[in-house]
Amino acid sequence: MELRNIISIDELNKEQILKIIESTIYFKEVLERDLKKVPALRGKTVVNLFYEPSTRTRTSFEIAAKRLSADVLNFAPSTSSLKKGETELDTIKTILAMKADLAVIRHKDSGFVKYISDNINIPVINGGDGRHSHPTQALLDLFTIYEHFKSMDKIEIAIVGDMLNSRVARSDILLFKQMGFSVFTVCPSMLLPEDMSYFGTENFNSIDDVIERCDVIYMLRMQFERQNRKLYPSVREYNRFFSLDISRFKKMKKGSILMHPGPVNRGIEIDGRILDMEEENMERIKISEQVSNGVAVRMSLLHYLLSQQ
Amino acid sequence: MREKATVLNESDMDRIVKRIAHEIIERNKGSNNLIFLGIQKKGIPLTERIKQHIENLEKTKISYGKLDISFYRDDINKKIKTDFNITDIPFEIKDKDIILVDDVLFTGRTIRAALDAIMDFGRPKSIQLVVLIDRGHRELPIRADYVGKNLPTSLNEYVEVKFKEIEGEDKVSICWI
């Protein structure tokens, strides 16, 4: 099963997805050792090219590579020759001339990562491109669900919030559907993309319609930075129909879990007090667990792509 | 793969397990400071059997762990390796005498990887190696302390080891590749 790049979820088949998810368990075990490092990718160089601000994805890739003993080069566009007028592809080719083995790329434009991967000869992992795709987030979400429920049968999941601007939601829906989950969306109509029929999910107008029945409540981040006009009347109105407050949190189905890709806007999509209860509610609130699992999934992906060259 | 000859049957393997158990106790003057580490995957059933036998002889309990050396291999660029197994060492190995167990000793590269992996978990007092079959063709200066059977082989042969716990029967055979 030849897999060169991880650009979007629809390029992965079910067998490849299962292989990646099942391998992740063994990489996670490395993270629980006293000495959290193995020499698996010694001598390899991973370059992080992040054209968009990111804390967790970039540091997650960086630490994943370091745990496997690869060298990491972080590229920051603000200090680079892009300012001097060099094109993005030329910048990337310059970096690759320094003999990198794999590139992780994030960019504000959908399709940018695909364009770069078509023009360079090393494996590329998409760290998020515009509104298009964020495959590593979707895979870590799937691993978190698999680890909690110990299976992927009959999972019902509701994805709640800003669908329009969310590459996480697009990748998650594609992946969850492929694994046979029932996926619902809960989204104000103004934040619902026109192309939703492509995903074939049922949309609800209030979180109350799904809160008691779903195994997973997946809250999305309100992406203020991508909204150039106001698409809902007020925070109060949004809270009334779409936010997770304490009383809704208590209504969640027995054994169900709460997820969020982070960073959370406290008081917008989730009541801040729920986040503060995470330590006592590890079985239910998986937001920090998602971050931990992100490192393990990325180790699995780096190893997978770099071990078959 | 076509089988050429059976080398060990069930009772042969049983006798070897018992002999090696005695040798380990003799060499270490008891079993006080011993811990067992089996190399995934075929080292595990052999570890369990020898450990069990020593426990019966010595009337004691001995810890044992499982070691997967996938992350320590030196042939990462040569083949796609995604069938990992769990590493489970739920105890301190510092200052212990480790009995490292694998089914077949061949080039020595697996043992080299296992030694590196063990050192990342701590500094044992000593490491002793048990193998069921030593088939020769070493590429590294590594030898076993306890050998079930020395089996001279050619490079176009393959040694197949089967355990009841994994394949449903106890048997070692030489096969043509």
Q: Kindly report the nearest CA distance between residue A255 and chain B, in angstroms.
A: 27
How confident is the model at residue B77, as a pLDDT? 63
SS3 of residue B68 by DSSP: coil
More confident residue, A14 or A235: A14
Residue A25 pLDDT more than 60? yes
Task: Write out the residue range of the structural domain in which residue B89 sits.
Answer: 2-72+84-176
More confident residue, A214 or A56: A214
Residue A106 pLDDT more than 90? yes
- Based on the fold, state whether residues A39 and A128 are members of the same structural domain: yes
Q: How confident is the model at residue A80 (pLDDT cuts 50, 70, 90)?
A: low
- Looking at residue B39, which CATH number applies to its domain? 3.40.50.2020
The alpha-helical segments, DSSP class H, found in chain A are 14-31, 56-67, 88-96, 112-119, 135-149, 167-178, 235-242, 246-251, 272-276, 287-306
How confident is the model at residue A53, as a pLDDT? 82
- Based on the fold, state whether residues A13 and A97 are members of the same structural domain: yes
Per-residue CA distances from A2 to A150, B60, B159 (Å):
27, 50, 30
Q: How many domains does chain B have?
A: 1
Q: Angle, to 10 degrees, between the axis of helix A167-178 and the axis of helix A14-31?
A: 110
Closest CB from B77, B86, B117 relative to A26? B86
A·B CB contacts under 8 A:
46
Q: How confident is the model at residue A31 (pLDDT cuts 50, 70, 90)?
A: very high
Q: What is the pTM of this model?
A: 0.91
How confident is the model at residue A92, as a pLDDT? 85
As a whole number, the mean pLDDT across chain A is 91
Q: How confident is the model at residue A82 (pLDDT cuts 50, 70, 90)?
A: low
Q: Does A275 touch chain B (CB under 8 A)?
A: no
How confident is the model at residue B165, as a pLDDT? 95
Q: Let me know if residue B77 belongs to a domain.
A: no
Q: Let me know if residue B152 belongs to a domain.
A: yes
Q: Do A26 and B87 touch (CB under 8 A)?
A: yes
Residue A1 pLDDT more than 60? no
Closest CB from B73, B77, B84 relative to A23? B84
What is the rounded average pLDDT of the residues B68-79? 80
Q: Let me know if residue B135 belongs to a domain.
A: yes
Backbone dihedral region for residue A69 (phi beyond 0: left; psi -120 to 50: alpha; all else: beta): left
How confident is the model at residue A223, as a pLDDT? 83
Query: In this structure, what token pair is assigned to residue B88?
Result: 């489970």
Q: Which of B69, B74, B82, B116 to mutate to test the interface with A (most CBs of A within 10 A)?
A: B82
More confident residue, B3 or A67: A67
Query: In this structure, what token pair is assigned to residue A99?
Result: 């003999």
- Residue pLDDT, tens place only, A191-238: 888 878 888 899 999 999 999 999 999 999 988 777 766 777 788 888
Q: Do A33 and B84 touch (CB under 8 A)?
A: no
Q: Let me know if residue A4 belongs to a domain.
A: no
Q: Let me know if residue B79 belongs to a domain.
A: no
- Based on the fold, state whether residues A237 and A190 are members of the same structural domain: yes
Q: Do A25 and B87 touch (CB under 8 A)?
A: no
Q: How confident is the model at residue B123 (pLDDT cuts 50, 70, 90)?
A: very high
Name the closest residue on chain B to residue A25, using Cα atoms.
Answer: B86
Of A85-89, A186-190, A288-292, B135-139, minimum mean pLDDT range: A85-89
Neighbours of A290 (CB within 10 A): 20
Question: Which residues does chain A have within 8 Å of residue B73's beta carbon, measured at their own beta carbons?
Answer: 40
Do the Cβ atoms of B20 and B14 come closer than 8 Å? no
**Residue with the two structure tokens 């009841």:** B164
- Based on the fold, state whether residues A163 and A285 are members of the same structural domain: yes
- Looking at residue A154, which CATH number applies to its domain? 3.40.50.1370
- Based on the fold, state whether residues A177 and A127 are members of the same structural domain: no
What is the rounded average pLDDT of the residues A163-171? 93
Question: Which residues does chain A have within 8 Å of residue B80's beta carbon, measured at their own beta carbons?
Answer: 307-308
What is the rounded average pLDDT of the residues B115-124? 96
pLDDT over 70, % of chain A = 96
Q: Do A308 and B80 touch (CB under 8 A)?
A: yes
- Based on the fold, state whether residues A84 and A122 are members of the same structural domain: yes
Task: Write out the residue range of the structural domain in which residue A173 sits.
Answer: 135-290
Residue B80 pLDDT more than 60? no
Question: Which residues does chain A have within 8 Å of residue B76's beta carbon, measured at their own beta carbons?
Answer: 40-41, 306-307
Do the Cβ atoms of B136 and B107 come closer than 8 Å? no
Please report the ipTM that was assigned to this predicted complex: 0.85
- The HSE-up count of residue B22 (CA atoms within 13 Å, CB side) is 6
- Based on the fold, state whether residues A217 and A270 are members of the same structural domain: yes
- Based on the fold, state whether residues A77 and A178 are members of the same structural domain: no
Residues in chain B whose Cβ is within 8 Å of chain A? 68, 70-73, 76-77, 80-82, 84-88, 116-117, 120-122
What is the rounded average pLDDT of the residues A98-113? 93
Angle (CA) A55-A57-A60 rounded to 5° is 95
Q: How many domains does chain A have?
A: 2
Residue B127 pLDDT more than 70? yes
How confident is the model at residue A15, as a pLDDT? 93
- Based on the fold, state whether residues A120 and A42 are members of the same structural domain: yes
